Amino acid sequence: MKALILAGGLGTRLRPLTYYLPKPLVPLLGKPLVRHIIDPLPAEVDTVILAVSYMKDALEEYFRTHDVGRKVILVNEDQPLGTGGAIKNVSRYLDGTFIAFNGDVVCSIDLKDMLRFHRSHGGIGTMSLWQVEDPSAFGVVGRDGRGRITAFQEKPRKEEAISRAINAGVYIFEREILDHIPDGVVSMERQVFPNVLDRGLHGYEFKGYWVDCGTRESIIAAQRTLLDLGGGKVSPELIQEDDATVVGANLIMRAHLRGCRVGPHVYIEDDVLVSRGAEVSESILLRGALVEEGAKVRGSIIGPGHVVAKGQDVKDEILARS
Ligand code: GTP
């Protein structure tokens, strides 16, 4: 079986980090976002197709140098074709039933169970659904009693939303879906889903966790969720001196903490130095970042090699080379 990952978006909401790193390679607890999708795929998926465009060379390099245990095919779009156009553009690789993912979704979905659901309900496809309090930033579905989707609204106003069940960005499709995607730049959400409801599109709701890692807030929320579930870890190569304290669940690699306070929910990569009097919480410090004396970093992503200056107060920001 084939799995298709949409990985060609510009990731504008994660700039300036995504000027240097395509969103699928942004690390979440030491693993690129795209690996959080690939690694849990069921064994019957032997081939992963990545629909790429923006920064495709970096993605090619990653898959050339990392074995992910499955065949990986990268298919380029000269211009981003949108979520529907990207699926149509890989038609030649798709045979029977396939799984498709928005490339920035990290969740606890049980794909084997979703496949069973799809096979028993039939129809052109199955869309994963997640319950939220405010669905106004998402695609919202209405369903009948048998789980069949009867209406689809993209980003409705909160008071106009027909339910709180949102499109969670993981799908199982039959190849027939391709017949309903026009050529060119096409949005699945706006131009395809509303038009295939009569072909049988079912909603599969799941529980556990779901995070769309398209923004700084959501990546930090995903990190918090995974750290609370997994308990965190500190590398034996971490250098901790001058009473540096680490609180709560964190993932800290081969870094250097000197007289500072780190945690909770912090991910720190190799060769990072956090200096005396500095405080870091709910944040990501990428390889070689430097937090100088007395600086504060909260809710932020600090890019590779970036320096947070002495006494600087960084809150809810993405800082990277610019
Ligand atoms: P923003 O610019 O921050 O909105 O991010 P984005 O460009 O990634 O858009 P969005 O988060 O809405 O995209 C959802 C998923 O679809 C992401 O995994 C994108 O990589 C992917 N995607 C969006 N547009 C395209 C496209 O034109 N081509 C391909 N191949 N993938 C796309």
Amino acid identity, position 89: N
Could you tell me if the CB of 81 is within 6 A of ligand 1?
yes
Q: Ligand 1: which of 4, 5, 6, 21 to mutate, most ligand atoms within 8 Å of CB?
A: 6
Q: Ligand 1: which of 104, 154, 190 to mutate, most ligand atoms within 8 Å of CB?
A: 104
**Is it the case that residue 321 has pLDDT exceeding 80?**
no
The CATH code that applies to domain 2-212 is 3.90.550.10
Q: Where in the sequence of the chain do the CATH 3.90.550.10 domains occur?
A: 2-212
Give the separation between CA 209 and CA 232, rounded to whole angstroms. 17
The model's pLDDT over 84-118, given as tens digits with 9 standing for 90+, comes to: 999 999 999 999 999 999 998 999 999 999 999 99
Q: Which of 100, 102, 108 lies closest to 40, judged by CA?
A: 108
- Mean pLDDT calculated for residue range 281-307: 97
Structure tokens at 197: 């409801």
List active site positions. Answer: 155
Could you tell me if the CB of 169 is within 6 A of ligand 1?
no
Confidence tier at 306 by pLDDT (50, 70, 90) = very high
- Mean pLDDT calculated for residue range 198-224: 94
Q: How far is the CA of 311 from the centre of ligand 1 (A)?
A: 37
Largest CA distance in the chain: 66
Please state the pTM of the whole predicted model: 0.92
The partner residues of 50 in beta bridges, in order of sequence, read: 5, 74
Structure tokens at 297: 């970093």
CATH class as words, domain 232-319: mainly beta
% the chain with pLDDT above 70: 100
Please list the helix, strand and coil fractions of the chain in percent, rounded to the nearest 5, in that order: 25, 30, 40
Beta carbons of 25 and 8 less than 8 angstroms apart: no
Q: Compute the mean pLDDT over every residue in the chain, rounded to the nearest whole number.
A: 95
Could you tell me if the CB of 269 is within 6 A of ligand 1?
no
The model's pLDDT over 184-197, given as tens digits with 9 standing for 90+, comes to: 999 999 999 999 99
The model's pLDDT over 33-56, given as tens digits with 9 standing for 90+, comes to: 999 999 999 999 999 999 999 999
Give the separation between CA 311 and CA 293, rounded to whole angstroms. 6
Structure tokens at 69: 């245990």
**Is it the case that residue 276 has pLDDT exceeding 80?**
yes
**Is it the case that residue 3 has pLDDT exceeding 60?**
yes
Could you tell me if the CB of 50 is within 6 A of ligand 1?
no
- Mean pLDDT calculated for residue range 149-159: 93
Q: Ligand 1: which of 83, 166, 188 to mutate, most ligand atoms within 8 Å of CB?
A: 83
- Mean pLDDT calculated for residue range 278-283: 98
% the chain with pLDDT above 90: 93
Indicate which residue's Cα is closest to atom 8 of ligand 1: 9
Q: Where in the sequence of the chain do the CATH 2.160.10.10 domains occur?
A: 232-319
pLDDT at 322: 56
Confidence tier at 231 by pLDDT (50, 70, 90) = confident
- Mean pLDDT calculated for residue range 21-31: 93
Could you tell me if the CB of 8 is within 6 A of ligand 1?
yes
Could you tell me if the CB of 104 is within 6 A of ligand 1?
yes
Q: How far is the CA of 26 from the centre of ligand 1 (A)?
A: 14
